[in-house]
Homo-oligomer: A and B are copies of this chain.
Amino acid sequence: MMDQSVTEAVAKLRELEEKRAALYHAMGVVNYDALTAAPKDTAEGRGRTMGVLSGMEYELTTGAETVAVLDVLMAHIAELDEQTAREVQLMKKANEQISRIPAEEYTAYSVLVNDAQSVWQRAKNENDFAAFEPYLEKIVAYNRTFAGYYNPDMKPYDALLNEYEEGMTMEVLDGFFENLRAVIVPLLRRVMAAPAIDDSFLHRSYPIEKQRVLSDMLMEVLGIDRSHCSIGETEHPFTDGFNNKDVRITTHYHEHELASSMYSVIHEGGHAIYELGCEDRFNYTAAAGGVSMGIHESQSRFFENIIGRSRAFIGFLFPKIREMFPEQLADVDAEMFYRAVNKAEPSLIRTESDELTYALHIMVRYEIEKRLIDGSLAVHDLPAAWNALYREYLGIDVPDDRSGCLQDSHWSGGAIGYFPSYALGSAYGAQMLHCMEAELPGLWEQVAAGNLAPVKEWLREHIHRYASLYAPGELFERACGKFDAAHFAAYLTDKYTALYGLKD
C-alpha cells in the first residue's frame, strides 16, 4: 500500500494536470478560433489573453506546489502504476524545461507567436517576405535561446528536434536523409525519363460546394464520427485535438485542384483517428493525446499515402467520386485516377507534392533550419537559400516567396525542428504496413471493399490507444520492432517502379 503522502501527492498532481489541461484547451480553442473564425484585425486582444493564459500555465508548471508534489512522487516512482509514473515523468520534464525559461521570455514568446501568425498570413497573401522577416528573426532567436534552456548539453538544433521527437538528433537525421536521397534522387530521375502520367483531369473545374460534399463522404469512409470531429476551412490544413472526444480538422479548397483538399482531409483524418482513438483514461492528464510529431505524422501519412493513394482504395473510392463529378470525370477510369494521384514530379509546394518527392521538400526545410539555428544563415538570406536548395534538390526554380519560403505555417507558429517528423512519419508508416500485412493477410481485399476497420483496429491496438503512455521510440518498437528506414525505401522503389513500368 502507498503511504498517505504519496496518495495525497497523486491527487494533487491530478488536480494540477487538470488545470493545465484546461489552460491548454482554452489556448487551443482561442488559436483555433483565430485561424478559422476570428475577424482579421483581432490579434492584439488575443495576444494579451494568450500572454496571460500562458503565464498562468507557466506558474502552474513551475510553482512551488508542483515542485513539492513532483519531489514526493519522483522519490516513490517505483511504487506508482505505469500511467501515473509516466504522468509524473512528463510533468517533471515539462517542469524542468519550462523552469529554465524565464517567465517574461515565455510570456513574450507566446505574444510574439500569436502576432506572427497573423503577419505571416498576410505576408503570404501579399508575397511580402519583408513583412514577416522581423517576426521570424525574433522567433529564431527565441528558439535558439530556448534550445539552451531545454538542454544545454545538446547542440541547439538537436535540443529543438528532441521537443518534437524524443531522442532524435542531427546525426541520425543526416544519415536517414542521406540514405533516402540516395534512393529517391535516382528513382526520380528514372521516373522523369519515363512517359509522363496525365493528371490534367484533376485540374478541371470542381465546384467547392461539391468538394465539401466529397469531404463529408471521405470522413464517412474513414469512419470518423462527426459528432466528435468537425471540418473547418483554413489557409493551411491542420488538426487540433482538445481531448479524445473533441477533435477538429481543417482543409483548404481550390476549384481546380481536386486532389488537394481530398488528400488534406484524408491526411488530417489520420491525425484525427489517432486523437480519437486514445483511451479515455489519458484525457486531461500530461499523457493525453498523440505522443510525438513523428508518430502523429506516421498516422496521417499512412492514411493519406499508403491507404489513400493505394490502387485498392482508389478502386473502391473512384466510382463514388465519379458519381459526384460525372462531367469532369466522364473520360477517366479508376486506373487513370490512381496513376494521376500518384504522379511524381518536382514541384514547388510541399503539401501538394507527391509521395516520392515529398521527402526532398522536407530536406530543404531541414537544411534551412539547421543553418538558421546554428547562425550560418541569416533570416534575411532565407529566400535565397530556399530557392537555391529547391534548385539543387528538386531541380526547379522558385518564382516567388509565396510559393517558396512563405508557404508553410510552421515557422510563424514557432515550430522549428518539426519538419523532419513528416519524413520520419512516412518511414514509420511504411514499416507499420510491413507488420500489418504480415498480421492481416486479407488486408488489401478489405481496403478494396472500402472496409478500413481492420487497418484502424490494428493502429488503435498498437498505437492510438496508448496516447502518450510510452515514449515514441518505445511505442514504435512495441508495435513493429526496431525502426529501419529501409522499409520506406523499398516501399517507394516498389511502388514507383511498378507505376512507371521501370525496368531493371
Q: Give the contacting residue for A26; candidates B30, B37, B230; CB below 8 A.
A: B30
**Contact of A41 with B243 in the complex, beta carbons under 8 Å:** no
Residues of B within 8 A of A23 (CB): 52
Return the CB mask of A220-247 against B: 1 if under 8 Å, else 0.
Answer: 0000001111101000000000110111
Q: Is A36 an interface residue (CB 8 A)?
A: yes
In the bound complex, CA of A229 to CA of B39 (Å): 6
CA distance A232 to B37 in the complex (A): 8
Q: Does A19 sit within 8 A of B, measured CB to CB?
A: yes
Q: Which of B18, B41, B52, B243 contacts A19 (CB 8 A)?
A: B52
B284 touches A42 (CB 8 A): no
A453 within 8 A of partner (CB): no
How many of A's residues come within 8 Å of B, CB to CB? Answer: 42
Copies in the complex: 2
Across the interface, name the chain B residue whose C-beta is closest to A41: B227
Bound form: Cα–Cα A46–B53 in Å: 16
A189 CB contacts on chain B under 8 angstroms: none
B residues in contact with A37, CB < 8 Å: 32-33, 36-37, 230, 232, 248
Task: Kindly state whether residue A38 has any CB partner on chain B within 8 Å.
Answer: yes
Q: Indicate with 1 or 0, residue by residue over A15-54, a CB within 8 angstroms of chain B CB atoms.
A: 0001101110111011011001111111011101101110
Complex Cα distance, B226 from A417, in Å, reads 36
With A25-B45, A45-B25 as given contacts, are A226 and B39 in contact (CB-CB < 8 Å)? yes
Among B36, B51, B245, point to the contact of A41 (Cβ < 8 A).
Answer: B245
* Beyond A18-B48, A29-B33, 14 extra complex contacts between A and B, CB < 8 Å: A21-B49, A21-B52, A26-B26, A26-B29, A32-B37, A36-B37, A37-B37, A39-B227, A39-B229, A41-B227, A41-B245, A42-B245, A45-B243, A45-B284
Cβ–Cβ < 8 Å partners of A99 in chain B: none
Residues of B within 8 A of A38 (CB): 230, 246
How far apart sit A18 and B228, CA to CA, in the bound complex (Å)? 33
